[in-house]
Amino acid sequence: MMKNAVEIRALSVERGGHAVLDQLDLTIGGGVTGLLGPSGCGKSTLMRCLVGVQKVAGGTVLVFGRPAGSRALREKVGYVTQAASVYDDLTVAENLRFFARVLGVGPTEVDRVVEAVDLAAQRDQVVGRLSGGQRSRASLAVALLGTPELLVLDEPTVGLDPVLRVDLWALFHRLADAGTAVLVSSHVMDEAERCDRLLLMREGRVIADGTPAEIKEKVGADDIESAFLAIVHEDAS
């Protein structure tokens, strides 16, 4: 098991005058870690903290031992937001060559990441004319440039068909097997089953943390969805 990729201590964040994260303590290691929880519970905010783009009210976030957002982490951390981060008027390959230059990684990386996200047939197409799923994969390809050691993916499979979702999850596991710590947020419960570790958030707190099997066993549920409903209900009462 790798040393912790992320160490969070007493992290507090306020947004719009409300406490979104309150004294959160959390470590994230290797494998694929799933971040689940109701809309608005703070998943995106937590991810923004990991990449250093969120103003925090208190606490520390260390990524590979350095403060989140440090320059030295630029090549080590890949981040895909919910909004596509590629340029619509450039082709897939042009986007990737541009971001490769920004990151200072070699042009051969472009071919590798295009293959990884299965966009070889679309590499010379303008992103604005790709399907939603293809565009998401183009954003993911950007995040894979330079082989990041931590990949932070905010709902990467939203709007994708089931076949593509299965393919992407296989890719996440291949990346994790090769040593990248992968943090993925999701609303989709069957995706939760595919994670090595699950974090269930509610109102800015982690209310369950374990493997899918451990979480189901904890409340005697047969599936993750029932387990989460039981845990949320327990937490609310």
Ligand X SMILES: Nc1ncnc2c1ncn2[C@@H]1O[C@H](COP(=O)(O)OP(=O)(O)OP(=O)(O)O)[C@@H](O)[C@H]1O
Q: Give the interface with ligand X as residue ranges (CB under 6 A).
A: 15-16, 20, 37, 39-45
d(CA 212, CA 92): 36
CB 136 within 8 A of CB 159: yes
Helices 132-144 + 108-116 axis angle, to 10: 130
Q: Residue 95 or 136: which CB sits closer to ligand X?
A: 136
CB 184 within 8 A of CB 195: yes
Shortest approach of ligand X to residue 48 CB, angstroms?
Answer: 7
Q: Residue 40 or 65: which CB sits closer to ligand X?
A: 40
Cα angle: 80, vertex 84, 85; to 5 degrees: 75
> 68 φ, ψ to 5°?
-50, 140
Q: Residue 135 or 202: which CB sits closer to ligand X?
A: 202
> 109 φ, ψ to 5°?
-60, -30
Q: Residue 138 or 201: which CB sits closer to ligand X?
A: 201
Nearest to 8 by CA among 70, 53, 65: 65
Shortest approach of ligand X to residue 45 CB, angstroms?
Answer: 3
Shortest approach of ligand X to residue 44 CB, angstroms?
Answer: 3
d(CA 24, CA 42): 11
Shortest approach of ligand X to residue 37 CB, angstroms?
Answer: 6
Q: Residue 39 or 108: which CB sits closer to ligand X?
A: 39
Shortest approach of ligand X to residue 88 CB, angstroms?
Answer: 23
